[in-house]
Structure 1
Amino acid sequence: MAVKRLFDVIFSFVGIIMLLPLFFLISLWIIIDSNGGVFYQQNRVGLFKENFKLLKFRTMKIGADKGSLLTIGNYDSRITRSGYWLRKYKLDELPQLFNVLKGEMSFVGPRPEVSKYVALYDIRQQRILSVKPGLTDWASIEFIDENQLLATSDNPEQYYIENIVPHKITQNLKYIDHHNLWIDVKIILLTIKSIIYR
């Protein structure tokens, strides 16, 4: 675990420094495109059920999260123009490098959920809260177009709870049982590839 944390600290710090010009351009784009702040923070459940503020670039109109917590399709009316492209290439997730640097997240680990859905976990499923949440995992690669999948359902939230969440948890439990630094690097590279070729 010490090696994993060292990896997280070094590469999150280097990543933040290298991406600062891109952060500035994205921030300017968001400001010009729509009213509201540059960043969006949301409470997520992390290691040992501790809540933390997950950081993203804002991709939706102010107050959009007062409705559904799920984004339905790539053309959800709540998504801003800049938000569409930021989401498409996962650029809205880049500020989570700060979460990684702070130790709230890791590069690889189960994606953190909101408490509403974590409350539905059974005892076996709660085991995924025994590791740090991550920027990406096997499930993130498999469900890279999750929004579009939800858009095909008559009841997106029910479909998410009954079909997607259990499958994600199964993938995450497999990761917990079989992971090391090399598997983490493989997941990171496959995530980058899936974003580029989606």
Structure 2
Amino acid sequence: MVAGNVEANLSKGLSPSQAVLKRGFDVMGAAVGLALTFWLIVPAWLAASLDARSNGFFTQRRVGKDGRLFTVVKIKTMRPSRELTTTVTRSGDPRITPLGRFFRRTKIDELPQLWNVLAGDMSFVGPRPDVPGFADALQGAERVMLSIRPGITGPATLKYRNEEELLAVQTDPEAYNREVIWPDKVQMNLEYIRYWSLGRDIRYILDTVFH
């Protein structure tokens, strides 16, 4: 009976009060974060514009809450390539610029996503927003992952913080991502929703910033 209740609660996602608490924390945190990091985002955008010889903001359509598409905003770290068209990035990817490697290593490229959080497209903590073909293809109880906003960080993001290095040693990075990494991320994100608390969100944010 207890297991049945847990599964029933999971299928509904966060409770209304939990959703309000999570969103309130996101709005306040994103507003403060943008105010504190605006001085860093602007010069990073200018530098990326010169480095990539195009608009320094990278935008891409990603799958968000309830399966709706939204436009994620990051600092551009890659140049387009005619030879490589995959959305899977691995360590040593020739598309990544030298400055882009610095932005990725320091997470500066992630800062513009604070706007996505403030606008309601994303949360500080949650499943990473993927391109179409992953989260929107979930079936059954796993679709509860779409009941919350995707996040800048989260348990799966922290576990796979070295994902690019992991993919770099695979014979078929795309297959490994789809068949091994993605299913593991789904299970971790379902557990995150099941045991959600604001304290856990704060812990994930601190782990991301200081590790």
TM-based fold match above 0.5 = yes
Q: CA deviation at 1:88?
A: 1.2
Identity over aligned pairs, percent: 37
What residue number does 1:145 align with? 162
Distance 1:65 1:49 in 2: 30
Q: Is the partner of 1:55 in helix, strand or coil? A: strand
Structure-1 separation of matches of 2:89 and 2:156: 17
SS in structure 2 of the partner of residue 36 of structure 1: coil
Q: Does 1:71 align with 2:84?
A: no
Preserved contact between residue 35 and residue 62 of structure 1 (Cα < 8 Å): no
1:136-177 deviations in Å (ceiling 9; x for gaps): 110111000100100010000000000000010110000000
Give 1 or 2 for the bigger CA radius of gyration: 2
1:51 match: 69
Match of 1:172 in 2: 189
Shift of 1:63: 5.7
For residues 155 and 111 of structure 1, the distance between their equivalents in structure 2, rounded to whole angstroms, comes to: 22
Scaled by the length of structure 2, the TM-score of the pair is 0.87
Distance 2:138 2:206 in 1: 29
Counterpart secondary structure, 1:191? helix
Deviations 1:169-194 (A, max 9, x none): 11000000001111100111111122
Distance 1:105 1:68 in 2: 24
CA separation of 1:65 and 1:86: change in aligned 2, threshold 3 A: farther
Pick closer, same or farther for the CA change 1:152–1:35 going to 2, 3 Å: same
Secondary structure at the residue paired with 2:196?
A: coil
Q: 1:125 matched to which residue of 2? A: 142
Shift of 1:118: 2.9
Q: CA offsets per residue over residues 78-114 of structure 1, 9 Å max, x none? A: 0111111111122111100000000111111111111
3-state SS, counterpart of residue 140 of structure 2: coil
1:64, 1:78 within 8 Å by CA — same for their partners in 2?
Answer: no
> How far apart, CA to CA, are the structure 1 residues paired with 2:65 and 2:197?
18
Q: Residues 61 and 105 from structure 1, CA distance in 2 versus in 1: closer, same or farther, beyond 3 angstroms?
A: same
What TM-score, normalized by structure 1, do the two folds share? 0.92
Shift of 1:119: 4.7
Corresponding letter in the other structure for 1:175: Y
| Matching residue of 2:25 | 7
Cα distance in structure 1, aligned partners of 2:147 and 2:66 = 6
1:17 and 2:35 correspond: yes
Name the CA distance, whole Å, in 2 between partners of 1:62 and 1:160. 21
Structure-2 separation of matches of 1:36 and 1:63? 14
Out of 57, 63, 69, the position equivalent to 1:39 is 57
Query: Matched residues in 1 for 2:63 and 2:194: separation?
Result: 21
Give SS of 2:74's match. strand
User: What stretches of structure 2 of length at least 5 have no aligned partner?
Assistant: 1-18
Q: Deviations over 1:45-88 (max 9, x none)?
A: 11110100011100001467970001121x21001111111111
Change over 3 Å in CA distance of 1:137–1:6 after alignment to 2: same
For residues 4 and 172 of structure 1, the distance between their equivalents in structure 2, rounded to whole angstroms, comes to 16
**2:176 counterpart residue number:** 159
User: Secondary structure at the residue paired with 1:115?
Assistant: coil
For residue 40 of structure 1, what is the amino acid of its counterpart? F
Provide structure 1 residue ranges, at least 5 long, that are not aligned to the other structure. Answer: none
After the TM superposition, which segments of 4 or more aligned residues of structure 1 sit over 3 Å from their partners?
62-66
Match of 2:132 in 1: 115
